[in-house]
Amino acid sequence: MSYLYLAFAIIAEVIATSSLRATEEFTKPIPTLIMVAGYGLAFYFMTLALRTLPLGFTYAVWSGLGIILISIIGIIFYDERLDLAATLGMTMIIIGVLIIHLFSKTVKH
């Protein structure tokens, strides 16, 4: 269940962060409410994941996958482009999360 909670936390955080631009500096009420609710849910689900998952692992996966998903949303919805350095860096994040998940003894497999 902890991994499911972590997935929900990541999804909620990505929705909240994606809504930030749409808030137009908190002048638009609907995107602002989505952002606040998203961050609230993200931290709630993260606390549930932390019942059994180590803090460092949880935060690494949450932030790493969040960065990648937000970047993809930026490309799709905001016409943002990533250069080679950004793409390489995100590839290293993915590799790092996989290494932690597949080989680290800090996480129960």
Kindly report, residue by residue over 98-109, the tens digit of the pLDDT.
888 788 777 665
Domain membership of residue 59 (yes or no) is yes
Domain membership of residue 109 (yes or no) is no
Domain membership of residue 72 (yes or no) is yes
Number of domains in the chain: 1
pTM (2 d.p.):
0.84
Q: Which two tokens stand for residue 63?
A: 């932030």
Domain membership of residue 108 (yes or no) is no
Domain membership of residue 39 (yes or no) is yes
Domain ranges, residue 89: 2-103
The runs of H, that is alpha helices, within the chain are: 2-22, 29-49, 55-78, 84-103
* CB 45 within 8 Å of CB 53: no
pLDDT tens, 46-93? 999 999 998 988 988 898 899 989 999 999 999 999 999 999 998 998
Domain membership of residue 93 (yes or no) is yes
Domain membership of residue 9 (yes or no) is yes
Domain membership of residue 88 (yes or no) is yes
